[in-house]
Homo-oligomer: A and B are copies of this chain.
Amino acid sequence: MIEKDGGKDQESVLTVGDTKEMRAVVLAGFGGLNKLRVTKKAMPEPLEGEVKIRVKACGLNFLDLMVRQGNIDNPPKTPLVPGFECSGIVEALGENTKGSEIGDRVMAFVNYNAWAEVVCTPLEFVYKIPDDMTFPEAAAFSMNFVAAYMMLFEVANLREGMSVLVHSAGGGMGQAVAQLCSTVPNVTVFGTASPFKHEAIKDSVTHLFDRNVDYVQEVKKISPEGVDIVLDCLCGENTGKGLGLLKPLGTYILYGSSNMVTGETKSFFSLAKSWWQVEKVNPIKLYDENKVIAGFSLLNLLFKQGRSSLVKIVVDKLISLYNARKIKPLVDSLWALEEVKEAMQRIHDRGNIGKLILDVEKSPTPLMANDSTETSEAGEEEEDHEGDTDNKERMPFIQ
C-alpha cells in the first residue's frame, strides 16, 4: 500500500510494503542533536474521532529545538516523536469521524508525533487545503499563519494605519506576520533580521534592521512615538524594551515556543534565558501608560484550552486569503527525515529565510547519506558547536 519513490536510504527500505510499521523521527532523550534518529515505529491507527494521515510534509519550528533540549514546562516522557504540524492525505478515519474523507488533502496540528510517515490526530485539528497548495506550503502554513493571524487580529486588533514590530522577520513566523500586515492598508512593519537576509525579504518589511543593532533606537528614529503592536518571541529580547516601544493603547504580545522553565541554560539555549528572567509587569504602569500586554500560545490554545473551533474559523479566513493570492507561505528548504539534525542546525544558526520543512518522501542528499541517523552517535561533537554562529560552512547546499 505504501508507495515510496525510490527509498534509497536504509530506513525507508525497511518500511516499503510493510503496513504494520512506519518511519518516524524519534527523540531518544532530551539533549543535543545526537538524541535524534529515524527509526521504525508501530503504525498508528485512528481512535474514535481521529483522522489517519499519510504525511507528506512536516513543519519544523524553533519550538522543536526547545523540545529537543527539554526546555519546556512539563516535558513529556522520552522517547517521543517530535513535531506539531504536518500535511498529507487522509488514509483512514476512526469511528464517528464525520467531516473528512479518505483521499482528502489536509494540513493538521498534532500534539507531538508529526514527524512520521503516518499520524493520527482528532478531526478538530485537521483542515482541508486548496488544490493548488503544495504539501510543503501547507506544512509551512498552519502554525505560523494561524498564530500570526490570531495575534494581529484577535489579540491586537490590527487596523489601517497601524505599525507592527516583529523580530526574526526572515523566519517562518516573521514572514507570516509581514504578509498578513500587507492585507491591511497602510500598515508599517518594522522587522529585525540578520543582514544577509535583508535583500531577500526587503519587499515584505517596511523598515528592516540588523538583528544586532539596538532596534529600540532605530525604531524611535523613524517613529518617535513608537509602534502599535510589538510581537516578541523572547529569543533574547526583553519585555521592558518591547513595552517601552509601545504607543498609548499599543499591545505587546509575548509568543513563542513553549513554557520555558528554569534549568539548563547551556550553550545556544542561553539565548532563551529571558524566558525565565522576564520581568513581571506592574498593572498600575499599564494603567498609567495605557498599554496592553498579552501572551499567546497556539499549542496551549489548541491542546490545553480546547479552542479548536476558534482556530478552525481562523484557518478558513486564512485559506480565503491564500486563494485570493494575498498570502503564500515562504518555504526555505526541504529536508529528508534523516536530515532533521542539519535542518535543526540551520534554524539554530538563523540561516533560514522562511520555513524549514521535513519532506517525508525525500531521500537524504548524498552529503548527508553517510551520516546514518540510526546508528550515528556523533552528536556530542555537534552539540559542542551549539552557540556558534559562524559554522554555516557545515550546512548543506540549500534548495
Q: Interface of A with B (CB < 8 Å)? A: 73, 150, 154-155, 157, 239, 248-249, 251, 254-256, 259-260, 275-276, 278-297, 300-301, 305, 307, 310
Q: In the complex, what distance in Å separates the CA atom of A285 from the CA atom of B157?
A: 21
Least Cβ–Cβ distance between A244 and chain B, in angstroms? 14
Least Cβ–Cβ distance between A79 and chain B, in angstroms? 26
Question: By CB atoms of chain B within 10 A, which of A256, A287, A294 has the most?
Answer: A287
Contact across chains for A292 and B290 when beta carbons are under 8 A apart: no
Assuming the contacts A290-B305, A291-B294, asked whether A280 and B282 have C-beta atoms less than 8 A apart, the reply is yes
Contact across chains for A284 and B288 when beta carbons are under 8 A apart: no
Q: In the complex, what distance in Å separates the CA atom of A310 from the CA atom of B247?
A: 13
Q: In the complex, what distance in Å separates the CA atom of A248 from the CA atom of B300?
A: 9
Copies in the complex: 2
Question: Which of B280, B281, B287, B295 sits near A296, CB closer than 8 Å?
Answer: B287
Least Cβ–Cβ distance between A149 and chain B, in angstroms? 13
Q: Enumerate chain B residues within 8 angstroms of A294, measured Cβ to Cβ.
A: 286, 291-293
Question: Which of B256, B259, B291, B300 sits near A295, CB closer than 8 Å?
Answer: B291
Contact across chains for B284 and A293 when beta carbons are under 8 A apart: no
Q: In the complex, what distance in Å separates the CA atom of A113 from the CA atom of B249?
A: 27
Question: Which of B157, B248, B281, B291 sits near A157, CB closer than 8 Å?
Answer: B157
Least Cβ–Cβ distance between A170 and chain B, in angstroms? 23
Contact across chains for B297 and A281 when beta carbons are under 8 A apart: no
For A310, the closest partner residue in chain B by CB is B249
Q: Enumerate chain B residues within 8 angstroms of A297, measured Cβ to Cβ.
A: 287-288, 290
Least Cβ–Cβ distance between A72 and chain B, in angstroms? 11
Question: By CB atoms of chain B within 10 A, which of A259, A275, A281 has the most?
Answer: A281
Q: Enumerate chain B residues within 8 angstroms of A150, measured Cβ to Cβ.
A: 249
